[in-house]
Chain A
Amino acid sequence: MNGRAQSLVAGLLSLLFLGVFLGIWHLATVPKKQAEAPVDEYSKLLGKGAKKSEGFPTLSQIGEAAFTQLKDPLYDRGANDKGIGIQLGWSLMRVGAGYALAILFAVPLGFLIGMSPVLYKALNPFIQLLKPISPLAWMPLALYTIKDSSISGIFVIFICSVWPMLINTAFGVASVRRDWLNVARTLEATPWRKAFEVILPAAAPTILTGMRISIGIAWLVIVAAEMLVGGTGIGYFVWNEWNNLNLTNVIFAILVIGVVGMVLDFLIGRLQAAVTYVE
């Protein structure tokens, strides 16, 4: 099978899987017979007969929710009720800020650590200890010390993005081929040129791998962080809809989260491809 045929078959299989998945969903949630009109006051109070989400949402309900949300993504009906576009904007802003801070911190520090085996050994225990801590565990501490929930959210993104970048940068820098460094040495390249024209491009694919892991984690964490801290963002949207036990909107939000996560990964992936070299 050549490459093109393979892609074609894979594509068809993907569609098939999707069809089977949606089919099972549809069959499992097929609307039960419309409940009879309420006969007494009691059933009326339970919302029988009225539009009420019962059980797992059907496909058409999801479609309807998606249509309503996407038709007007930027509506603003008060501090606690904003369109999905605005919520996504908030989340992306927080992720962007925390992630950018993490880059500013992790890449230079990773550089130093990667250049100095002593520093690497000295800092490694701390990194290993701090790395596995769930970023959300930092939240109470952040709230207490930073005293601002939005900045605490950004801090949590920072702290979860920083480790993969730091470790990968240090590793990438430490494993730059000695030959290239020797070339730079024999050419009496300035430390500046050595850092930016040799080590950085040499380590870039590894650094970008770290950044790609980080963006994935950051996007995972922002949803949880916003559910915890609330106010704005896609995580808050999920929490607010959960609070209303509105699974339809929760599922819609999950899909949106997935798509945005995929796009973020794709963008960093493109960047990664751009700096990757073949030896």
Chain B
Amino acid sequence: MMSFLQVQDLAKRYGGTTVFERVNFTMERGEFVCIIGHSGCGKTTILNILAGLDRATEGAVVMDNREVAGPSLERGVVFQGHALMPWLSAMNNIAFAVRSRWPDWNRIQVQTHCQKFIDLVGLTGAEHKKPAMLSGGMKQRVGIARAFAIQPKMLLLDEPFGALDALTRGTIQDELLRICEATNQTVFMITHDVDEAILLADRILLMSNGPGACLAEAVINPLAKPRDRHSIHHDAQYYGVRNHIVDFLVNRSKRYQSGELRSARSPSAKIVNLR
């Protein structure tokens, strides 16, 4: 059987410059995948290609047996800068998405549905506030609620918690984990935060430095589910995987770029299982 998502030989070039090439990976339904890499390696471009907002120079993306040719309601996106429309209240930002998904719904249906997701992300009481009146964390929750509300087949998150303070970030991470588990959501997420990746992801993709980046390693998270933010670092395997990733970011990512570590024309990432 074909995987839910197949990314085949993706490359992006601008003129003579290759941002990345030979990006191959698959994802299964319900899987949570994080991608980590230094700035400029093309993570956001990959996410945009998955979303259908950008086009690859080479290669293809197939989701649920259909090639991705443009943006679709089947893929919900949470943008880096939350991308809420500032003239709409929290509720109406979500309603905008809901009405796109179910154009035939009446006002009450839309409202009930929105309220459900507002409650889900813990924003009850703030639904009629404009984004400017919300804190950074609350804004990002609205963005997540908006993406979840259309019940997409896959969720794409572009570094959603980057701008949040550690405390808020933790809370929202917990919520995201809870919702994903409850809905068996397939998630592809960009992050810079190794701990976040270990907490959330089933698999962590490591990208080498750009330009000329490639998908260097695919690390299978050895920590068993459910993972808990408060106890995760007591797990015996935690530091192993953490060190592996940090070491990649500090040392190996450069060497992949220079070609030193690229395994003989291997089209796919080296699978790392530390279990």
Interfacial residues, chain A to chain B (CB-CB below 8 A):
177, 179-180, 182-183, 185-189, 193, 197-198, 201-202, 204, 275, 277-279
Q: How many whole Å from B59's CB to the nearest CB in chain A? A: 21
A residues less than 8 Å from B72 (CB atoms)? 186, 188
Residues of A near B263 (CB, < 8 A) are none
- B53, B71, B96, B150: the one contacting A197 at CB < 8 Å is B96
* A4 vs B197: C-alpha distance when bound (angstroms): 52
- State in angstroms the CA–CA spacing of A183 and B88 once bound together: 14
Q: Whole-angstrom distance between the alpha carbons of A185 and B96 in the complex?
A: 12
Indicate if B100 sits at the interface (CB-CB under 8 A): yes
Whether A183 contacts B85 in the complex (CB less than 8 A), given A189-B100, A278-B132, A279-B132, comes out as: yes
* A67-B244 Cα distance, complex, nearest whole Å: 89
Task: List the A side residues contacting B30 at CB < 8 Å.
Answer: none
Q: Is B192 an interface residue (CB 8 A)?
A: no
CA distance A270 to B51 in the complex (A): 40
A188-B100, A279-B86 known; A183 and B79 CB under 8 Å?
Answer: yes
How far does the alpha carbon of A185 sit from the alpha carbon of B81 in the complex, in Å? 16
Total A-B residue contacts, Cβ distance less than 8 Å:
63
- For B101, list chain A residues within 8 Å (CB): 187
Question: Which listed residue, A186, A188, A202, A204, touches B77 by the CB 8 Å rule?
Answer: A186
B81 x A187 contact (CB < 8 A): no
Interface size on B, residues (CB 8 A): 26
Q: A277-B132, A278-B130 are in contact. Are A185 and B85 (CB under 8 A)?
A: no
For B71, the chain A residues whose CB sits under 8 A away are: 182, 185-188
**In the complex the two chains form, what is the Cα distance from A88 to B236 in whole Å?**
85
Distance between Cα atoms of A40 and B87 in the complex (Å): 77
For chain A, what secondary structure do more than half of its interface residues adopt (helix, strand, loop), or is it mixed?
helix
Extra inter-chain contacts (5) besides given A185-B71, A186-B53, CB under 8 Å = A183-B85, A185-B52, A186-B75, A201-B85, A201-B87
The answer on a CB contact under 8 Å between B73 and A278 is no
- Interchain CB contact under 8 A, B51 and A187: no
Alpha-carbon gap, A125 to B73, bound state (A): 41
Tell me which of B75, B85, B101, B146 has the highest count of chain A C-beta atoms within 10 A of its own C-beta.
B85
Asked whether B83 is an interface residue with its Cβ less than 8 Å from the other chain, the reply is yes
Instruction: Determine which of B52, B86, B88 lies in contact with A186 in the assembled complex, contact meaning CB atoms within 8 Å.
Output: B52
Q: Which residue of B lies closest to A205 (CB)?
A: B87
- Can you spell out 16 A-B residue pairs with CB atoms less than 8 angstroms apart? A182-B53, A182-B83, A183-B77, A185-B52, A185-B53, A185-B70, A185-B71, A186-B71, A187-B100, A187-B101, A188-B100, A201-B85, A202-B87, A277-B87, A278-B130, A279-B131
Q: How far is the CB of A279 from chain B (nearest CB, A)?
A: 5
Chain B nearest CB from A52 CB (Å) reads 60
Bound: A98/B132 CA distance, A: 37
Which residues on the B side are within 8 Å of A183 (C-beta)?
A: 77, 79, 83, 85, 97, 146
Q: How far is the CB of A200 from chain B (nearest CB, A)?
A: 10
A279 and B83 alpha carbons, distance in the complex (Å): 10
Whether A193 touches B100, Cβ cut-off 8 Å, given contacts A277-B87, A278-B132, is yes
> When chains A and B are docked, how far (Å) is the Cα of A184 from the Cα of B132?
20
- Give CA–CA (A186, B97) in the complex, Å: 9
Partner of B76, one of A186, A277, A279: A186
Return chain A residues, CB-CB under 8 Å to B100.
187-189, 193
Within B158-199, the residues touching A (CB, 8 Å) are none
The distance from the CB of B52 to the nearest CB of chain A, in whole angstroms, is 7
Name A278's contact: one of B52, B53, B76, B86 (CB within 8 Å).
Answer: B86
A90 CA to B89 CA in the complex, in Å?
Answer: 42
Chain B positions within 8 Å of A279 at CB level? 86, 131-132
How far, in angstroms, from A277 to B129 measured CA to CA in the complex? Answer: 12
A189 CB, min distance to chain B CBs, angstroms: 5
Cα–Cα, bound, A277→B70 (Å)? 30
CB proximity of B189 to chain A, nearest CB, Å = 16
Distance in angstroms between the alpha carbons of A201 and B87 in the assembled complex = 7
